[in-house]
Structure 1
Amino acid sequence: MHFRVLGPVEVAAEPVALGGRERLVLSMLLINADRVTSSERLIDTVWSSPPQSARQQLHNIIARLRRKLDATGALIVTRPLGYQLALTDHGLDLHEFRLSVLRGREHLHNEQYDDARIELDAALALWRGDALADLSGDWAVATRESLHRERVAAGEALAQAQLATHDHAGVLETVHALLAADPLHEGLHDLRLRALARSGRRTEALGAYQDLRRRLVAEFGVEPGQDLQETHSSLLREVDPPSASPRHVPRQLPRPISLVGRDELLAQLTEVLRTPEPSPGTVLLVGAGGIGKTSLAVALADRVQNGYPDGTLYAELDGTSRDPRDPDEIIDRFLRALGATAPPAHGRREERLALYRSAIANRRVLVVLDDALDERQVRDLLPPSPRSAAIVTSRHRLAGMADVLRRNVPTLSTEVAVDLLHAGRDVAELEPGLARSAVQLCGRLPLALMVVAARLASGVVDLSEVVDHLSEEHIRLDELAIGDVDVRASIALSYDGHLSEPAQRLLRRVAAASVTTWPAWFAGVLLEDDVALGSRALDELVDVHLVEPVGRDTAGQLRFTLHPLVATFAGERAVREEDASAGTSCRRAVAMAWLGLASQADDGLGHGMRPVTGPDGATVPAGLPPRRVTVAADRPAAWFDAEIDSIRDLVHALSRAGEVDLAAALALRSDGYLVVRGEEHVRAGLLRRAADCSDPVLRWGVLRSLFHTAAEAGRFSELVDLAQSQLAVARELEAGSMELSALVQFGCALRELGRFEDAAARFEEAASLATAHHDTTILALAHGHLGMMLARTGHPARGAELVAENVQAERVRGPSRRLSIWLITYAGCLALTGDVAAAERALDEAEQLAKSLEDRNVLLDLAQTRAAIALRADDVDRAERILDDSSAPCGPSAPDPEPTDAELRLRADVLLARGRATEAAPLLERALSRHRREGVRLELAHDLVRLAAVHAALGEQDRAQQQHSELVMLLRDLGIGIDDLQLPSVVSTVLPRH
């Protein structure tokens, strides 16, 4: 397949119908062929205002391109940050053009002029008009202009080869076509004058020079450049124009220092700046103070400066100082370095600028500008010729600079940062764990790491002392200073030098809020709910890299973060510049905002968990959602996915600050999401942080949820205490509905511990009180839990009847996670009665609900219930297939999930049925150990009966009999018989006989 972009975009010899967006995306991938084009860049180019579905739409565009161009997927490859068009055996006219130009220039340099003409003629013949001729938009216009400059440069080289072979008519024909599109290109005019003169048309050449001069003076107030003036002078003297003019070749670059961790970025940029003419224009390196921009720029310039034979110019612009350098001063320095005389200080700025542009117009120079303040300071210093290039560093984004290759300089990787600490030391001297701790405390910032490395190399401190000091936030920045290298001072240059007061205030308050990442609305909340002011202040902080964007989250929100050392600095300034209560106020404001959005998302999730409701009917506080932020209500699950880490940070910060009630409200409003996502560890951590809340209604809710987390984690020994504490709080509040709910949980705790009579008494007490209070919800719930117990202890028919009552009550309340769980419970009861068809119908209904909520835990429970039903029907193959499918990781990089006790038991049953009892034994021992520790006696009975069967199958009768005897005693204590366990035949048929 052969692609063409040097004209209308097309697939040669294989017409392919492409939509407008497909054509644009394909063009971007072709122009950047064999390199990754980021999704963000594609989205921002295709859509001027990207919709929330832009990423999915882009995915669909790529899928259509693959179907139309290469169904194998080998042409357009998905990469972690975007997409890559891999040419491999495919052709692209732009690549052919550039290769021919490269070979042509090599021949021209080696004075092989005929070969140069062949290659350059072939290169220009590939053009079919303007590049990307059928595309519009900013990207297409900018790319078309860049490719046009390459075309002009190739034509100029061809004309040089034609002039060298005395083909003066060819020179005039070539430059005439190019000057039509670029009428002020002095290099082309110089070739034209030479060709006219050498073909005996000297008078015409002199006239052409005067025409060009008049136009330059009239339109721009500048004289022609040095080369043209020298050509004109030779024409006046009636001598052949010189082939070259002697020039000063400045090499102003400071001595480069050794770099670590920048090899890949340095190699990429080196390749860019070594590309044949024309060069890419300007490479802009942006990033925070201390990130290593200057070192990278100098190292890059040192690598490529031999490709710029007319010199390397270097200037420090002092953009972060209180007195940035005047660009006119830099122009005067550059003019002197180039051998030109600078105009007097009182001369017009336009004259100075014109002289500078003329001095480098036809040269191939590299300009390095370090620490730029803004676009104004840089713009006039950039070389105007496409043959030259510039490297600029800045803490600012310089968003107003177009047609630049912008690269954010990142922090170092942990591995590279550890290597930097070893500078000048024996690697073995640094303990790896301590070294990694030091690296993390330095935020992997090169400047901070250099300070630590210097302190270690001095021998005054060892690594353990450094880590101890860095761990103390109030002295961390004191440790990161040595000599004139000071991290605090570096950050202060950005903070004090060019930030408005609102931006400074926002930075201090972001640090006080103690969240790792946050969305854009956060800024407005911190600045007294002033959205516009917050947006402007945030833009300022991002511009100087004190705040870093981290991309769009799963809900489509732009997110931001603070480097940890910037957060430390901002915390210091908050202590110095903020009122003592400001930190508390802003932390509470953002907590109320997140609580408001969490409440909206919680209400929209459909998990079906009963809200925490006090005796007066009030629920958990709803908070104050920020204005015009609707994403939590519109996309609740995606919003929680994006925000749960920030919520966790905030709950921890609130609990540390003593705002435990607010922490509890936020934890409870996140509870349903964490249950649906199966994040029990995170859930338990948040709840424990909020357990000491003073509000009794919130405390009751936290205890209720802690009960569920303990049950999910198999910590059954904790359940009775949690239920009794919950019951005590409810009675203290004299809240009937809360007391009834606590009674049901108390009964569940007793049931799990095998105290069936006590559990039944609690369920019946709750049912009786619910009847008296006309609380049909709690009545059905009490009956449902009682029925679950009866079904598991030998009374499946009665159990199924009671569970059905609660299923019906949940149906009345609407589709929810709770309904799916009770449907699974009901299916298990029905299967024990022998009504397998009804059980499967209940499971199908539950599966539909669980899939809509993407609830992996419920789906896992459902699959295990299906497997148990299959085993009861002796369908071992189906049971094993269900278990294998349900326990697969969620994604290619997801870890294998920890098997539940139910899965261990089911897999042991399958292995026993397969005659692989040896493999079944360790699974059952694993479950048995856990159940002994937690005192879960009914589960223990199921483990013992299966182990007895396993050892009987292995012929180990003594062990089998010993376990069977323990089982009999346990069942007697529980008040049930072995038949009440309702074992599948794979177990019951191999049990030892008395």
Structure 2
Amino acid sequence: MYFRVLGPVEAADEPIALGGRERLVLAMLLINADRVTPSDRLIDTVWSRPPQSARQQLHNLIARLRRKLDATGALIVTRPLGYQLALTDHGLDLHAFRLSVLRGREHLQDEQYDDARIELDTALSLWRGDALADLSGDWAAATRESLHRERVAAGEALAQAQLATHDHAGVLETVQALLATDPLHEGLHDLRLRALARSGRRTEALGAYQDLRRRLVAEFGVEPGPDLQETHCSLLQDVDPPLASPRHVPRQLPRPIALAGRDEILVQLTDVLRTPEPRPGTVLLVGAGGIGKTSLAVVLADRVQDGYPDGTLYAELDGTSREPRDPDEIIDRFLRALGAAAPPTHARREERLALYRSAIANRRVLVVLDDALDEQQVRHLLPPSPRSAAIVTSRHRLAGLDDVLRRNVPTLSTEVAVDLLQAGRDGLALSAVQLCGHLPLALMVVAARLASGAVDLSEVVDHLSEEHIRLDELAIGDVDVRASIALSYDGHLSEPAQRLLRRVAAVSVTTWPAWFAGVVLEDDVLLGSRALDELVDVHLVEPCGRDAAGQLRFTLHPLVAAFAGERAAREEDLSAVADCRRTATMAWLGLASQADDGFGHGLRPVVGPDGATIPAGHPPRRVSVAAEQPAAWFDAEIDSIRDLVHALTRAGELNLAAALVLRSDGYLVVRGEMHVRAGLLRRVVDCSDLVLRWGVLRSLFHTAAEAGRFSELADLAQSQLDVARKLDAGAMEQNALVQLGCALRELGRFEEATARFEEASSGAMARNDTMMIALAHGHLGVLLARTGHPARGAALIAENLRAERERGPSRRLSIWLTTYADCLALTGDLAAAEQALDEAEQLAKSLEDRSVLLDVVQTRAAIALRADDIDRAEHLLNDSSASVGSDAEPTDGELRLRADILLARGRATEALPLLERALLRHRREGVRLELAQDLARLAAVHAALGQQDRARQQHSELVVLLRDLGIGVDDLQLPAVVAQAGGYNLLEISSE
């Protein structure tokens, strides 16, 4: 397929009906062909006010384009940050135009003028009117103007080739058409004068010069440029104008320094700036202070300046100082460097600008502008000719500049940063790099301090680790990281933006969403948005893109955070900082409460006496994402919640921290983040609010149970029971009794466990709490099922299932369904067991609960093993392992199942270490029923290996343990592969 943009946008092979937005998106992808066009840029161009559904609408729009243009999907490819139109075998008139222009210029440079004319004629013949003629809008207008400049430059090159081949009429025809659209282009006028003079029309040429001069003086107050004046002098002297005028060639770059870690960006931008005419306009290097923008700009300019034979101009604009340079001063300096006389000091700015533009209009120059303050300081210094280019550095994005290629200068990679320190690759060097935030300026200071020999790396790391003195360590001579950051903070920020930066540091979250800015600025959304824009513009705050919930997120560089923390300590009183932290916490807590309520985890709510519950917080105004997308919101915010909990506990705000932890608890359960969950709970277990403490202890009990730390369970449940009795809260007391019963059950103290379940059930009956009665009966049913009474256990578990169903679909329901299925399988009702597992799996999938899904699959495998379907059991178990990853710690159930399968396969040697591993764990935790299961299997494995002495030793220990537990070996309900391994009938020997 062949595409055209040099005129109306179309596919030339066949007529394809495109809507307005489809045509615009196709044009943007074609103009940027073979490169990624960011989704955000497409959205901002297609919609002046993007709707919330813009990303989905763009996705649908791209899908329609694919269907209409290339059903294979190879033409428009989805990339991580946007879309790429891959031309491959397709054609584009713009690429053909640029290729012909490139060849034409090469022929022109080699004085092969006839070949140059052919190529340039071919290039210009591809135009069918104005580029993007059927598109409107700012992007289309700016792109159309840029392409028009390319067309004019190609026409100028064609006229030069025509002049060299004495085709004066051709020059006049070419130039006249171009001047109709660009009437003050001095290069075209110069070619016209030369063609008129050489075709014997010298008087007409002199008149044309005077006409142009009068217009320039009348409209702009300036004389024609030096090239035109030189041609005019030749006309007055009645001699042929020279082929070229003598020019000054300034080379003003400072000495470049050696750069580390910038090869990739240097290669990319070098290729850009070496692109054949027309040049790419302006390369803008943006980044925070100390990131290395100036060094990068100088090295880049040094690499490419040979492609700009008419000179390299360089100016320091001092945009971060208190006295930025006046653009008029820079223009005068550039004019002198170009050999042109600067205008008098009283001349108007328009006159200066006209002289400057005339001086560089037909030259190929590179302009380097360092440390720009704003668009106004830069705009008039940029070369107007497409033959020239500029490199600009700034801490600001300068969003008002058009036709700019922006590149954010990144921090250094860890490898490069460590090498820069020249201190080896050990842990100390890595720590130093992390504490410097990979910032080149900070690393240079550390490297200089190390080179001085006054300190060693361990001392540097110790000092950098002390946050209150970190910035003191990052100063040497006149290089000072704190001073570099202060230039942006003190020189270019409004008071609200300074306040926002201080408060972000005070709250101590690593990343935060956009709404946070308004919350900490007195709940003023507009003020917060403006202040955040300021901070982003000067790179004191960096955007992180959109998170899982679609929120824009932001972050602070670690050294900026340290600086902001210093200013917060100096400029905010302690009560204001504490109030700010509490306000932010209440906002996160409000959204966490909304997400928690809609998450479907099924955890019983924490309800104290008189209905006391976890505080609900205060969600920010007009922020609905937590209620609409609870899982995605927690995915996006959990790291910030962890940061906030740490900050609150350091400040002694344990009750507020505990509320936030408990509101995040269900999410962490479903996501299987047990280590994170346990760490947060342990941080807040000493909170003074007894209702919150009870909730924390309850959750700690569950984390210990799921981690297999059974020895901790009884103490945690007893602590929970003590708190409930202090509160005189019946429901809380009975819940704690159930958990104490579960702990005693795991420890093999079955009579005591039964008593606790019955005590809880009796108390719940007195309060007519049917849910608590069912829960106590359900856990009693588990005990019965695991000690040889599956039918009685199934009946009690079914009672609890009915109660859970009344509460609606939840994680708890899926867990009890899995437990019920295991119990049904022991009774022989395999069809009902599979049905319960199907329901449990569906629920777990809806919650993306990998932990429950793993339990479901392993339960299916155990059922298959009992049915002697070894292949299915192994297949299911392997699938479950693949789903959680090879690095995950196997559960007790998985170890036991794998050992049983290996034993069935006749691979008892491989089963042995798995069972010994489980045995060690259960001995340590004192889980006697599980220990009995391990001993039975070990006896079977040793028998299968012919090690009868070892088998009888394990068996003897098993008999003693079973007598102590008050159950028989048949109550263990072992699969046949274990009970009869290697001709060893465990049941028979057990009865001896």
TM-score (norm 1): 0.96
Deviation larger for 128-137 or 966-975: 128-137
Question: 1:960 — aligned with what?
Answer: 951
Contact 2:220/2:350 (8 A) holds in 1: no
Deviation larger for 60-69 or 759-768: 60-69
How far off its partner does 1:68 sit? 5.5
**Cα distance in 1 for residues equivalent to 2:47 and 2:678:** 42
Deviation larger for 396-405 or 3-12: 3-12
Q: Which sections of structure 1, spanning at least 5 residues, go unmatched?
A: 423-428
Q: Deviations over 1:674-702 (max 9, x none)?
A: 11111111111110110110111111000
Contact 2:418/2:425 (8 A) holds in 1: no
Contact 2:780/2:793 (8 A) holds in 1: yes
**Cα distance in 1 for residues equivalent to 2:216 and 2:832:** 91
SS at match of 2:242: coil
How far off its partner does 1:183 sit? 2.9
Contact 1:282/1:405 (8 A) holds in 2: yes
How far off its partner does 1:870 sit? 1.8
Question: 1:865 — aligned with what?
Answer: 859
How far off its partner does 1:75 sit? 4.5
How far off its partner does 1:52 sit? 4.2
How far off its partner does 1:433 sit? 0.9
Q: Deviations over 1:959-994 (max 9, x none)?
A: 333223322222222222222222223323326233
**Cα distance in 2 for residues equivalent to 1:432 and 1:40:** 41
- Identity between Structure 1 and Structure 2 (%): 86
Question: 1:601 — aligned with what?
Answer: 595
**Cα distance in 1 for residues equivalent to 2:900 and 2:90:** 56
Q: Deviations over 1:595-630 (max 9, x none)?
A: 111111111111111111111102101111122211
Q: Deviations over 1:409-460 (max 9, x none)?
A: 11111111111111xxxxxx53521111001111111101000000111111
Structure 2 vs 1, CA of residues 819 and 170 (structure 1 numbering), >3 Å: closer, same or farther? same
How far off its partner does 1:324 sit? 0.9
Contact 1:52/1:556 (8 A) holds in 2: no
Deviation larger for 452-461 or 112-121: 112-121
Deviation larger for 909-918 or 485-494: 909-918
How far off its partner does 1:383 sit? 1.1
Question: 1:178 — aligned with what?
Answer: 178
Matches within 5 A, 1:419-430: 419-422=419-422, 430=424
Question: 1:426 — aligned with what?
Answer: none
Question: 1:286 — aligned with what?
Answer: 286
**Cα distance in 1 for residues equivalent to 2:655 and 2:329:** 61
Question: 1:926 — aligned with what?
Answer: 917
Choose from 682, 689, 696 the match for 1:688: 682
How far off its partner does 1:5 sit? 3.2
Choose from 584, 589, 595 the match for 2:583: 589
Deviation larger for 864-873 or 684-693: 864-873
* 2:968 partner letter: G
Question: 2:505 — aligned with what?
Answer: 511
Question: 2:188 — aligned with what?
Answer: 188
* 1:907 partner letter: R
Question: 1:425 — aligned with what?
Answer: none
**Cα distance in 2 for residues equivalent to 1:921 and 1:9:** 72
Is 2:488 the counterpart of 1:494? yes
Matches within 5 A, 1:723-738: 723-738=717-732
How far off its partner does 1:791 sit? 1.1
Deviation larger for 798-807 or 176-185: 176-185
Contact 1:430/1:463 (8 A) holds in 2: no
Question: 1:755 — aligned with what?
Answer: 749
Contact 1:250/1:313 (8 A) holds in 2: yes
**Cα distance in 1 for residues equivalent to 2:222 and 2:859:** 86
**Cα distance in 1 for residues equivalent to 2:10 and 2:906:** 64
Deviation larger for 408-417 or 225-234: 225-234
How far off its partner does 1:658 sit? 0.6
Matches within 5 A, 1:841-880: 841-880=835-874
Deviation larger for 939-948 or 768-777: 939-948
Is 2:940 the counterpart of 1:949? yes
Structure 2 vs 1, CA of residues 805 and 582 (structure 1 numbering), >3 Å: closer, same or farther? same
Q: CA RMSD in A?
A: 2.0
Deviation larger for 690-699 or 184-193: 184-193
**Cα distance in 2 for residues equivalent to 1:944 and 1:55:** 59
Q: Deviations over 1:374-418 (max 9, x none)?
A: 111111111111111111111112111121111111111111111
**Cα distance in 2 for residues equivalent to 1:35 and 1:416:** 27
How far off its partner does 1:71 sit? 5.8
* 1:257 partner letter: I
How many residues were matched structurally? 985
SS at match of 2:555: strand
SS at match of 2:180: helix
Question: 1:38 — aligned with what?
Answer: 38
**Cα distance in 2 for residues equivalent to 1:148 and 1:910:** 74
How far off its partner does 1:22 sit? 4.6
Question: 2:782 — aligned with what?
Answer: 788
**Cα distance in 2 for residues equivalent to 1:487 and 1:976:** 72
**Cα distance in 2 for residues equivalent to 1:54 and 1:840:** 44
**Cα distance in 2 for residues equivalent to 1:342 and 1:518:** 51
* 2:599 partner letter: L
Matches within 5 A, 1:631-646: 631-646=625-640
* 1:657 partner letter: A
* 2:765 partner letter: T
**Cα distance in 2 for residues equivalent to 1:18 and 1:945:** 73
Is 2:276 the counterpart of 1:273? no
**Cα distance in 2 for residues equivalent to 1:610 and 1:720:** 20
How far off its partner does 1:927 sit? 2.1
Structure 2 vs 1, CA of residues 895 and 73 (structure 1 numbering), >3 Å: closer, same or farther? farther
SS at match of 2:553: strand
**Cα distance in 2 for residues equivalent to 1:889 and 1:327:** 62
Question: 1:251 — aligned with what?
Answer: 251
Q: Deviations over 1:479-534 (max 9, x none)?
A: 11111111111111111112112211111111111110111111112122222222
Structure 2 vs 1, CA of residues 880 and 10 (structure 1 numbering), >3 Å: closer, same or farther? farther
Matches within 5 A, 1:575-724: 575-724=569-718
Q: Deviations over 1:192-245 (max 9, x none)?
A: 222222223334434443443444444444433222233233334433222111
**Cα distance in 1 for residues equivalent to 2:128 and 2:333:** 44
How far off its partner does 1:780 sit? 0.5
**Cα distance in 1 for residues equivalent to 2:939 and 2:492:** 77
* 1:659 partner letter: E
SS at match of 2:611: coil
SS at match of 1:470: helix
* 1:809 partner letter: A
**Cα distance in 1 for residues equivalent to 2:681 and 2:135:** 56
Is 2:929 the counterpart of 1:935? no
Question: 2:904 — aligned with what?
Answer: 913
Is 2:350 the counterpart of 1:350? yes
Choose from 836, 846, 856 the match for 2:830: 836
Choose from 461, 468, 479 the match for 1:467: 461
Q: Deviations over 1:567-587 (max 9, x none)?
A: 111111122211122221111
Contact 1:889/1:897 (8 A) holds in 2: no
Deviation larger for 109-118 or 65-74: 65-74
How far off its partner does 1:80 sit? 4.0
Deviation larger for 38-47 or 866-875: 38-47
Question: 1:124 — aligned with what?
Answer: 124
Structure 2 vs 1, CA of residues 52 and 980 (structure 1 numbering), >3 Å: closer, same or farther? farther
**Cα distance in 2 for residues equivalent to 1:430 and 1:504:** 39
Deviation larger for 982-991 or 360-369: 982-991
SS at match of 2:882: coil
Deviation larger for 917-926 or 157-166: 917-926
Contact 1:807/1:822 (8 A) holds in 2: yes
SS at match of 1:104: helix
Choose from 740, 758, 771 the match for 1:746: 740
**Cα distance in 2 for residues equivalent to 1:21 and 1:856:** 41
Contact 1:3/1:11 (8 A) holds in 2: yes
Question: 1:901 — aligned with what?
Answer: 892
Matches within 5 A, 1:504-583: 504-583=498-577
How far off its partner does 1:261 sit? 0.9
Deviation larger for 596-605 or 178-187: 178-187
**Cα distance in 2 for residues equivalent to 1:635 and 1:49:** 23
Is 2:442 the counterpart of 1:451? no
SS at match of 1:581: helix
Q: Which sections of structure 2, spanning at least 5 residues, go unmatched?
A: none
Contact 1:288/1:546 (8 A) holds in 2: yes
